[in-house]
Structure 1
Amino acid sequence: MAQSATPDIAAARLQSQDIDRNFEDVKPVLDRKKAIVESSRCYFCYDAPCTEACPTSIDIPNFIRMISTDNVRGAAEKIFEQNILGGMCARVCPTEILCEDACVRNTSEDKPVNIGALQRYATDRLIEQGIHPFQRQAPSGQKVAVIGGGPAGLSCAHRLAMLGHDVTIFEARDKLGGLNEYGIAAYKTVEDFAQREIRWLMQIGGIAVNTGKALGRDLALEQLRHDYEAVFVGLGLAGVNALGLDGEEVANVQDAVDYIAKLRQAADKSKLPVGRKVLVIGGGNTAIDIAIQSKRLGAEDVTLVYRRGPDQMTATWHEQEFAQVNGVKIKHWAKPVRLISHQGAAREVEFEYTQLDDQGRLIGTGETFSLLCDVVFKAIGQKLVKDPVNGQAHESLDLANGKIVVNEDMQTSLPNVWAGGDCVASGTDLTVQGVEDGKIAAIAIDRYLRRKNSK
C-alpha cells in the first residue's frame, strides 16, 4: 500500500490496560529473602572497586553487609549519607558500567552482585517508612539560592540545609525533580516515585521552594548574587540540538525530551498521540527511552538511527539490548541529510551511510537510503541556553564548549557562584553525577560561608 501524504499519528493504538501493563516497573523488586540471598554473594572487598566506580563513593560493601544481617535501616542510611537521591539512582543508574562492572564477581564464569537492586531494596524501605535520619546543624543565619530543582540542585540544597544554612530553590517548572521527574522513561520510575523521594528529602527542613521561576525570565543571576550569600546553578541543559536540515520545523519532527516530559506527566497515557512509523535520530539514553516508549504506546515500527557504531553510542550496551528486545530496530553508521515532506509534514528521511576515514574522522560515503515515517524524534543531545545564564549582568560566568566552567569545588568564575549537573562538564551526564556535583558544591559553599562569617 502506498504511503499516505498525511502522517498516521493517533492516540489509543492500544487498550488502556495494555498500556498500563507496558509501563509497569521494568525491574523486579527484591523481597527480604531474595535481598539477603543476593547480599550474601558479596565478598565485602576491603579495597572495594565497586565503591571506587561509584561517582558518589557509596560504601557499597558496608551497606550490603548490613542487608545480609537484616539491618536495612543502617544500609539505607549508609547509602543516603553519600547519595541523598539513592532511591532514584538505584532505578536509573547504569550500574552495568559503574559499580557492577567493577564487581570482582563480574567474570565470564560468574555475574556481578546486583548492587542496584540491593540499593533500591534498602532505600525504598526507609522512604516508605517516612524515616528521615538526618538532622540540621544549628542555624548559621546564611542564605543560599539554588537555581534548578533537579538532582544537582536537590543534592546541594539538602546538604546545605543539613549544615544549618537556609536554602531557597528556584525552579522553572511546576514540580521539582528535573530529569528525575520529566526526563526519565516512565517504566523506570513508577508510582510517582520522584515526588515521593523529594517529599522525603524535604523533611530535613530549612528549604523553601519557589516553582515557576525561571532564570532570565523571572530571575537575574546578578540580583540573586546580591540577595543571597551564595548561589548554586543547577540548570541542566534546556536547549535541544537541531538536526540542521531544511524543514525540520514541521509539527511531526519533535524533540524527544519534550515528548518524554509530556508522557511522564500524562494522567492517561492512552490519550497520547503516537505515530505508526517512528524514526528516532540519536544514540544516547534519551534516544533509547523515546524509542522504547513509542513502541510501548503502540507504534508498529520504530527505528533508531545513529551516525556511528554501537560502541560509540552513549547509551549503554544494556540499554541498546533492552531496546532491541522491545522491538526497536537500531541502524548504525548513517546520518540524516534530507527531510522529504508532503503537505507540510515530513514523510521520509534520507540518510547517508557514514564511515571513519584514515584519521578517524566521520565522513559520508555518498551512498544514501530513505526511511518512511509518521513522526521523527530528535534526540541528538541538549545544550545550555546561554542568555538566561548571564543575561545583561555586569559580570558573566565563563563558558567553554557550551557548558559552565567550574573548578574542583564546582566554583564558577564568579566568587560566590557554584554550579553542577548537566550544565557543567564535571563527568558523565547522569543523575548520580549531578548528585555528586551538588554535594561537592554544598561542602565548598559551607566552607566559604563559614570562612567569610569568621572574618
Structure 2
Amino acid sequence: MNSPFTPGVVSQRLSTEDLSKNFGDLHAPLAPHEAAVAADRCYFCHDAPCITACPTDIDIPLFIRQISTGTPEAAAKTIFQQNILGGMCARVCPTEDLCEQACVRELAEGKPVEIGRLQRYATDTVMHSGVHPFTRAAPTGKRVAVAGAGPAGLACAHRLAMLGHDVTLYDARPKPGGLNEFGIAAYKSTDDFAAREVDWLMSIGGITLETDKALGTDMTLDALAADFDAVFVGVGLGGVNALGIDGDARDGVSDAVSFIEDLRQTDDLAKLPVGRNVVVIGGGMTAVDAAVQSKLLGAEQVTIAYRRGRDAMSASRYEQDLAASNGVKLLFNVQPVAVHGNGAATDVELEYTQVTDGKLAGTGETIRIPADQVFRAIGQTLTTDCGLDLTGGKIAVTGAGRTSRAGVWAGGDCASGGDDLTVTAVAEGRDAAMDIHATLTGAA
C-alpha cells in the first residue's frame, strides 16, 4: 500500500516468507555439543583480560569452565550475579569491542572464544527452566522508587528487591524494557525475548510495576522523594535531535528511533512501509539498525551518511561490516544540507566535509542522492532534568550514581559518564542499588 504523501514508501515489498527469513535470529543459539567445543577453547586465564573488558565484571573464565564441566546453570548464576540482564547483553553487547577483543585467543589467533554466544547458552538454559536463581532477603521495610524500566532501572530494581527492599518501578511507556523492548534491531532480539526477560527478572518478587507514568509529566521528583526512602532515575534519552536543515519537516523524513520502535512493536512486518531509496543520517548503532532493517524490509538502495570518517563512527566495525554485508552503502565525510522534494522527500543534498585544525567544516562541494525516506539518527536528548544538576546535557552523577540531590540516584543513558551501552546501563543500575542499600541500612 502506498502512502498518499510519499509514493515511494510502501508496505509489503517482500513476501511474508522472505521477511520471516530476513528477521530471523542473527546468531543461532549454540547446541550443547557446540557450547562444549566453544568452551574448550578458553585458556581460563589468571587475571583474565576479558573480565577487565566487561563493564559488569562478569567472571568470564569461571562461567566458561562451568559450561565445560556440564553445569550451565551454575554458569548462568555466575553471570546473573553481576548482570541480571545477561541474556539480553549476550545478544546485543558489542563483545567484539569488549571481552572478545581482549581475549587472548583473539590476540594470538585472530579468533576469540565466543564469549557472547556462550553467555547466551548459559542464561537461556536457566531462563527456559523458569527458575529464578536468587531469592529475596528478609524485608527491610524500606521503599524505593525507580523511574524508568529500561536496563538501568531494571537492574537497580532487581538488586534492591533481592536485598529486601520494596520497589515501585515506573515507566512512561505501556510496557517495560526501555531500549531493550523498543530500540534494538528485531533480528538481535527475537521471539519477544525482551518482554520475557522482564517477566523472569521480576519473578524475584518485591517489585511493583506501574506503566504509562512519565517522570516530569505524570509525577514529579519532589513527590517521589517525599513518598519513598530513595529514588533512582533511569529515564534514558527520549528526545531526538533535529537535522536543522531545509526540508527536515518534509513527508518521508522521520527519526530512526521511532522507525525501530514501530518495527519492534508491529505484529506484521509486511504492514510496515519502507522507502525504495532510504538515507540514514548518523554514525551510531541506531543508524546501523535502521539502515539494515530498511534493507531487510525490501528497500532497494540504503545509504548511511556520516559527517566524519569511518574510524570516528560510534557503531563498531563489526556493525559497519554487518551493514555492508546486507547491501547498505556507507558514505563518509558528508553532512546533510537539505532534503529536497515537492512536499515529500525525493532526494538529499549532502556536503563533503574535512577536518581542519581539529574542527569539522564543509568543503562547499555537494552531491545529491535519491531519497524517498530519510531517517535522523544523530543522537538523543534528555526530556526532563527534574531540577537536578546537569553536565553535558545529562544528569550529573558522582560515585555510584549520586546526583546533586540527596536521596536521589541516576544511571543509564540519562546520566553522565556512560557510553550508551545496555551492559554499561546494567552496571550503573546495579552499582547504584548497592549504594542505595548501603545508605538505607546505615552501612554507607
Counterpart secondary structure, 2:346: strand
1:406 aligns to what? 397
Per-residue deviation at 1:72?
A: 0.6
Counterpart secondary structure, 2:214: coil
Q: Within 2, Cα distance between the matches of 1:272 and 1:255?
A: 15
Counterpart secondary structure, 1:43: coil
**Matched residue type, 2:61:** P
TM-score of the aligned structures, taking structure 1 as reference length? 0.95
1:361 aligns to what? 359
2:42 aligns to what? 42
Listed one character per residue, the Cα deviations across residues 350-401 of structure 1 (whole Å, up to 9, x for unaligned) are 11101111x221111111111111100000111111xx332xxxxx200111
Tell me if structure 2 keeps the 8 A contact 1:7–1:375.
no
Listed one character per residue, the Cα deviations across residues 75-131 of structure 1 (whole Å, up to 9, x for unaligned) are 000000000000000000000000000001113634110000000000001000011
From 357, 363, 374, the counterpart of 1:376: 374
Listed one character per residue, the Cα deviations across residues 333-365 of structure 1 (whole Å, up to 9, x for unaligned) are 0000112121x11211111101111x2211111
**Matched residue type, 1:376:** V
For 1:22-421, list aligned pairs within 5 A.
22-107=22-107, 109-342=109-342, 344-357=343-356, 359-385=357-383, 388-390=384-386, 396-421=387-412
Counterpart secondary structure, 2:105: coil
Tell me if structure 1 keeps the 8 A contact 2:30–2:121.
yes
Tell me if structure 1 keeps the 8 A contact 2:280–2:374.
yes
Structure 1: segments with no counterpart, 5+ residues: 391-395
From 403, 416, 419, the counterpart of 1:428: 419
Q: Within 2, Cα distance between the matches of 1:410 and 1:268?
A: 40
Per-residue deviation at 1:250?
A: 2.2
Q: Within 2, Cα distance between the matches of 1:426 and 1:190?
A: 30
Structure 2: segments with no counterpart, 5+ residues: none
Are the structure 2 counterparts of residues 6 and 220 from structure 1 closer, same or farther at C-alpha, using a change threshold of 3 Å?
Answer: closer
Tell me if structure 2 keeps the 8 A contact 1:215–1:389.
no
TM-score of the aligned structures, taking structure 2 as reference length? 0.98
Q: Within 1, Cα distance between the matches of 2:237 and 2:338?
A: 27
Q: CA RMSD in A?
A: 1.3
1:393 aligns to what? none
Q: How many equivalent pairs are there?
A: 441
Listed one character per residue, the Cα deviations across residues 207-260 of structure 1 (whole Å, up to 9, x for unaligned) are 000001111221111111100010000000000011111231223101100010
Are the structure 2 counterparts of residues 6 and 76 from structure 1 closer, same or farther at C-alpha, using a change threshold of 3 Å?
Answer: closer
Tell me if structure 2 keeps the 8 A contact 1:145–1:169.
yes
Tell me if structure 2 keeps the 8 A contact 1:253–1:375.
yes
Q: Is 1:444 the counterpart of 2:428 in the alignment?
A: no
**Matched residue type, 2:363:** T
Tell me if structure 2 keeps the 8 A contact 1:7–1:373.
no
Listed one character per residue, the Cα deviations across residues 171-230 of structure 1 (whole Å, up to 9, x for unaligned) are 111111000000000000000001111111111100000001111221111111100010
